[in-house]
Structure 1
Amino acid sequence: MSYREPLSQTAIAISISESDDLAVLGLAEEHLRDAMTEISRHMLAMGARLVYGGDLRDNGYTKLLFELVARHRRDADVGDVRPAIANYLPWPVHSMKSREYLSGLREDLEGIGELYCLDKEGRAIADDAKGSPSPAAFSDEDWASSLTAMRRVQTEAIHARIVLGGRVTNFKGLMPGIAEETEFALKANQPLYLLGGFGGCARDIASDMGLMPEMERSADWPGRIGFSSWRANDLSNGLEFDEIRTLARTVHVDQAVALILRGMLRLSRRAGHD
């Protein structure tokens, strides 16, 4: 029998974007990128498949993930030929790229990752972009419905979600992206690992759930009030309350990784005993 990595059948979504308040916390963008890199690297080493819904900026988190997978990929099983990363692109994002650009990206990702271009309703489309319209071609409603559809489809494809950072201003959609992805995970009762120590939307959510002290309150972004009704046990992540609270507050990446893996491995063992 071939050896299987502990998380070889687990699809884990990474929810991350820039935090508006990193400087207030004495942190910089590099801290957020380093945290994502280390967390992703350990998930890959345990055989997990990473799932991300993001943009295609040259310096964005999507590209960072792709580079990380290319460097650190380690198959969970000798017979496991699944790509190690899946990236879901909402309609306006991929529509502003040419067919040639997306085809080239797919070629670069061959054997490493999969790129899913979605239409406005979240259906995967094979023909990719049909042109390169300007951002002005998409209304606020186009962005909101497309992003919500992408996050719904992504949630259906994953087993767990890790959340850190996140803008609460100048976002597209019904609410900040981190908030909507977190809400989808909570409503689906999926294991959710919430890191508030790196500020942003994740910190607001952790504070509203009673997992860390209140800072000077940020803007009352759309949908925020709803998170005060959720509690630690709603995270369903295999961790005890003290561990959940520590994860929510820490800025030490090694500690965060250890806690995430502890929770995931506990859930894996419990599932094996069912």
Structure 2
Amino acid sequence: MPADQQRTDLLPADALQGKQLGLSVSESPDLDRLGLLDTHFRMTLGELARTVIIAGGSLFYGGHLQPGGITNFLIEELQRYGRRDRPLKVCLAWTVHRAMTQDQIAEQKDILGLFGEIHFLSPVGDRLDGPVNEATIDDPPAEERSRALTGLRTFMTANTDARIVIGGKRAGFQGSMPGIFEEVLFSLERKQPLYLAGGFGGAALDVIRKMRPEYAEWFPPAHDMPVPDDRFLTALERIEEIVSAVQWDGFENGLSEDENRLLSASYRPSEIAALVGKGMGRLLV
């Protein structure tokens, strides 16, 4: 079978039944430099959702419920594919859902309908029975926000079988380190398979460069980039330490070396989704 055809194959129905995939994604600061648009980024998320949902899997995403965000985009994609068993699990950190009113939460539940459900988390990442019926907290201290985000990522890692990583901020993050770095760290500690899609640059590509520098040679570092935050550099060092300690870098994911190298550079939505689906189909079924 030609390679191009292999890359566009879909997983059979129910191949990922019962499997839960964590989605680590945020906008990349490198899109302009790569000549890409947010549309390309979202098309890739749509293709990934399609691949996982059609094959019977579930997606865990930790974000917010603001209009125009990634959560709403994923809901729209689910509505196209007809799964009505709530395959999207929206995980809300304590500081995120505590900033919402009861009416706002009820509205978002209605929007999710049969396509997804909200997991409300405690300050340390334990799942609550539901939202707290108390006055909202609009501006929590930075330490509380950071702890809540770490709790969110701990919960998602404990409840998923593998992680898909795309894009990611290098600055302006609210936790103790860039969110994608922390999520990758937790996955490495649990020896979870990682699907690192580096074609959109960002923190995902930084992780690839740290663990498999030869996979990132296609993207030379820019000379005009700002000096990284100390927390950014410390987190990359921590990733290197964890890989050495557990003897696991996440690339044991059902893909060959050539396929992982391709995933590390591709920006084509169908190609990325097909590679992720292929790896999960080989490894998780």
Say yes or no: does 1:63 pair with 2:67.
no
Say yes or no: does 1:46 pair with 2:55.
yes
Task: State the shift of 1:70 in Å.
Answer: 2.0
1:128 counterpart residue number: 131
Structure 1 segment 102-251 matched on structure 2, within 5 A: 102-129=105-132, 130-135=134-139, 138-209=140-211, 210=213, 211-213=215-217, 214-216=220-222, 219=228, 221=232, 222-228=234-240, 230=243, 234-251=250-267
Say yes or no: does 1:254 pair with 2:254.
no
Checking the alignment, whether the CA contact within 8 Å between 1:189 and 1:236 is kept in structure 2 is no
d(CA) in 1 for partners of 2:269, 2:97: 32
d(CA) in 1 for partners of 2:284, 2:137: 45
Q: Deviations over 1:155-183 (max 9, x none)?
A: 11111110000111101101111111111
Q: Which amino acid aligns with 1:197?
A: G
Q: Deviations over 1:242-266 (max 9, x none)?
A: 2111101111122212211111111
Task: State the shift of 1:4 in Å.
Answer: 5.8
| Count of residues in correspondence between the two structures | 259
d(CA) in 2 for partners of 1:127, 1:40: 26
d(CA) in 2 for partners of 1:94, 1:166: 22
Q: Deviations over 1:71-100 (max 9, x none)?
A: 21337xxxxxx4211011001111111011
Q: Which amino acid aligns with 2:90?
A: N
1:78 counterpart residue number: none
Matched residues, percent identical? 32
Q: Aligned with 1:12: secondary structure?
A: strand
Query: How large is the RMSD of aligned CA atoms in angstroms?
Result: 2.0
Q: Aligned with 2:170: secondary structure?
A: coil
Report the TM-score when normalising by structure 2.
0.85
Q: Deviations over 1:106-143 (max 9, x none)?
A: 233232211011110112223414222322xx111101
Checking the alignment, whether the CA contact within 8 Å between 1:189 and 1:235 is kept in structure 2 is no
Higher relative CO (CA 8 A, sep ≥ 6), structure 1 or 2? 2
Q: Aligned with 2:74: secondary structure?
A: helix
1:37 counterpart residue number: 46
1:74 counterpart residue number: 83
Report the TM-score when normalising by structure 1.
0.88
